[in-house]
């Protein structure tokens, strides 16, 4: 355990404010004492006394832990440890306008990586209900006469979103919902090379058929071809 | 854009505290005004006046934005918008002891998904230097006479960590460093079925050879076999 922890980037101590230090101290305190969600967190006054810092500093550091969802206040119980919803924290900073271009590109590539990698989860947990719903999405697209060579953002989101859902991994699924604005943002900014798209095409219907009768291996191969215009642009 | 946003979970307004509402209001303000990193953030007093709430409430909400890395204070410039490091936020709550069991399992599965999906990035960006370093890691393992049928956590981390690095996607790489404690935690908790492992084995040497002369497709297939004991346990 100790070995890995050292891999983490460590900020030079000089750059840390007093509040930073108290925040780190409080997190260390939680770990050292093996506190788990539901356990009581020390009272403000106790912390002021044991840490030897002002009430303002303690309050500011505690507020950070509250913001991060590590502690929360309960009526008549003071502060208690809580189970942080790590995706929720994430969500609050994932505004494409605030993220750098490099991060946006990396996140878009992450989407491709996830969709290439999720085949096993998908095949292990697919249900007839899921297949039927996917069928409806594809049929609706076909009725609308969508040109296969054009990626319609809305259809992409519907179809691929359903795949994430069918993977049965709630964390993965929430991650995708969260990343959607990023995908849209990148999608809007970049134009797909139509010439390239017109090569070998695997459309949503082909993917669905593959999901019905294929294997994770054949599905990955089909998905790779389906995503090829994106890979071509990025790699 | 509007369509996707509605997918996000919306908290009932009744559950929001005044500070919650001010936080949301400030984030909305940033978006409406298209503020980008470097732009000035309104002064505390201005916010008190325009929002009609107390200084304490404004301060608490601003502190949250600071905790999340959305704004920061600059000498002589007051508060300015900053580029939030979204992985940093994440890091502070990713303590395996604080996360639920379901989330831990999902995150471990996410690792498998990422490693299955990263082959294209890996082949597009692999360098001779990276291959040489991987070679050294594998040779060191072989000298130590590591039994192939046993997954040594340390060797796993070295080898697979290098792969993430060679993928050239910094976000993916930081994500992995971040998830390491989770992987270790799950690794320690679960025992691999030795019988199953003894079936068809693809070891690190085989993966390295594949990376040298194979294709993303052959590499994915080899990686799938390599990770099979984990998939077997989870799916």
Whether residue A3 is contained in a domain is answered as: no
Do B126 and B41 lie in a common domain?
A: no
Interval B197-205 mean pLDDT:
73
pLDDT for position B156: 81
Do B214 and B132 lie in a common domain?
A: yes
Cβ-defined contact of B120 to A172 (cutoff 8 Å): no
Beta-carbon contacts of B66 under 8 Å, excluding residues fewer than 6 positions away, are: B72, B73
Q: Of the candidates B88, B29, B93, B90, which has an alpha carbon nearest to the alpha carbon of residue B58?
A: B29
φ, ψ at A79 (rounded to 5°): -85, 140
Domain end residue (candidates: B46, B68, B84) = B84
Interval B28-36 mean pLDDT:
83
> Based on the structure, what is the number of domains in chain A?
2
A5-19, B53-67, B88-102: least confident range: A5-19
Do B56 and B119 lie in a common domain?
A: no
Do B96 and B48 lie in a common domain?
A: no
pLDDT winner (highest mean) among A11-20, A21-30, B179-188:
A21-30
What ipTM was predicted for this assembly?
0.73
Do B45 and B101 lie in a common domain?
A: no
Strand extents, DSSP E, chain B? 71-74, 78-81
Who has greater pLDDT, B162 or A233? B162
SS3 call for A120: helix
pLDDT for position B2: 37
Do B15 and B120 lie in a common domain?
A: no
Q: Give the pLDDT confidence of A118-176 residue by residue, as tens digits.
A: 999 999 999 999 999 999 999 988 887 655 445 567 778 889 999 999 999 988 888 88
- Give A14's pLDDT tier (boundaries 50, 70, 90): low
Q: Can you count the helices (H) and strands (E) in chain B?
A: 14, 2
Provide the chain B residues 104-133 that lie in CB contact (below 8 A) with chain A: 106-107, 109-110, 112-121, 124-125
- Average pLDDT over chain B reads 81
Structural domain containing residue A77: 12-84
Q: Give the pLDDT confidence of A218-234 residue by residue, as tens digits.
A: 999 999 999 998 898 88
Whether residue A63 is contained in a domain is answered as: yes
- CA–CA separation, A17 and A13 (whole Å): 9
Structure tokens at A91: 């969500």
Do B79 and B104 lie in a common domain?
A: no
Above pLDDT 70, what percent of chain B? Answer: 78
Domain end residue (candidates: A32, A52, A84) = A84
On the question of pLDDT at A75 being above 90, the answer is: no
Task: Give me the CATH number covering residue B185.
Answer: 1.20.120.530
On the question of pLDDT at B10 being above 50, the answer is: no
A174-183, B130-139, B226-235: least confident range: A174-183
pLDDT for position B180: 80
Q: Give the pLDDT confidence of B101-154 residue by residue, as tens digits.
A: 777 888 889 999 999 999 999 999 999 999 999 999 999 888 876 554 455 677
Who has greater pLDDT, A195 or B91? B91
pLDDT for position A46: 92
Interval A68-87 mean pLDDT:
82
> What is the total residue count of chain A?
235
Do A48 and A97 lie in a common domain?
A: no
Cβ-defined contact of B106 to A169 (cutoff 8 Å): yes
Cβ-defined contact of B120 to A107 (cutoff 8 Å): no
Chain B closest-CA separation from residue A181 CA (Å): 7
- Which chain B residue shows the shortest CA-CA distance from A99? B83
On the question of pLDDT at B219 being above 50, the answer is: yes
B181 vs A: CB within 8 A: yes
Do B30 and B45 lie in a common domain?
A: yes
Of A63, A91, A92, the CB nearest to B63: A63
Residues of A in contact with B181 (CB under 8 A): 1, 4-5
pLDDT for position B46: 92
SS3 content of chain B, % helix, strand, coil (to 5): 65, 5, 30
Distance of CA A202 to the CA centre of its chain: 26
Do B122 and B229 lie in a common domain?
A: yes
pLDDT for position A94: 64
Task: Give me the CATH number covering residue A76.
Answer: 1.10.10.10
Domain end residue (candidates: B66, B84, B102) = B84
Cβ-defined contact of A7 to B180 (cutoff 8 Å): yes
Q: Give the pLDDT confidence of B74-92 residue by residue, as tens digits.
A: 888 889 988 777 666 666 6
Whether residue A28 is contained in a domain is answered as: yes
Above pLDDT 70, what percent of chain A? Answer: 78
Whether residue A5 is contained in a domain is answered as: no
Do B80 and B134 lie in a common domain?
A: no
Cβ-defined contact of A98 to B37 (cutoff 8 Å): yes
On the question of pLDDT at A4 being above 50, the answer is: no
A162 vs B: CB within 8 A: no
Do B114 and B212 lie in a common domain?
A: yes
SS3 call for B40: strand
Of A92, A95, A114, the CB nearest to B113: A114
Which runs of consecutive H residues, i.e. helices, occur in chain A? 2-5, 18-32, 44-51, 55-67, 86-91, 101-117, 119-125, 128-143, 153-166, 170-189, 194-197, 204-213, 216-226, 228-234
Whether residue A217 is contained in a domain is answered as: yes
């Amino acid at each position: 355990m100790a070995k890995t922890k050292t891999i983490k980037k460590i900020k030079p101590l000089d750059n840390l404010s007093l509040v930073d230090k108290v925040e780190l101290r409080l997190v260390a305190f939680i770990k050292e004492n093996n506190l788990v969600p539901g356990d009581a967190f020390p009272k403000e006054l106790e912390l002021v006394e044991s840490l030897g810092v002002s009430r303002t500093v303690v309050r500011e550091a505690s507020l950070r832990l509250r913001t991060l969802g590590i502690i929360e206040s309960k009526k008549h119980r003071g502060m208690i440890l809580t189970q942080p919803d790590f995706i929720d924290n994430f969500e609050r900073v994932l505004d494409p306008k605030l993220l750098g271009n490099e991060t946006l590109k990396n996140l878009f590539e992450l989407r491709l990586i996830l969709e290439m990698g999720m085949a096993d989860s998908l095949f292990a947990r697919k249900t007839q209900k899921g297949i039927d719903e996917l069928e409806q999405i594809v049929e609706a697209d076909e009725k609308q006469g969508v040109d296969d060579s054009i990626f319609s953002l809305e259809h992409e989101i519907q179809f691929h979103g359903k795949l994430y859902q069918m993977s049965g991994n709630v964390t993965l699924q929430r991650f995708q919902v969260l990343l959607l604005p990023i995908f849209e943002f990148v999608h809007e900014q970049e134009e797909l090379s139509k010439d390239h798209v017109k090569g070998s095409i695997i459309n949503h219907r082909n993917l669905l058929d593959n999901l019905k009768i294929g294997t994770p291996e054949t599905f990955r191969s089909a998905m790779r071809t389906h995503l090829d215009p994106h890979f071509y642009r990025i790699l």
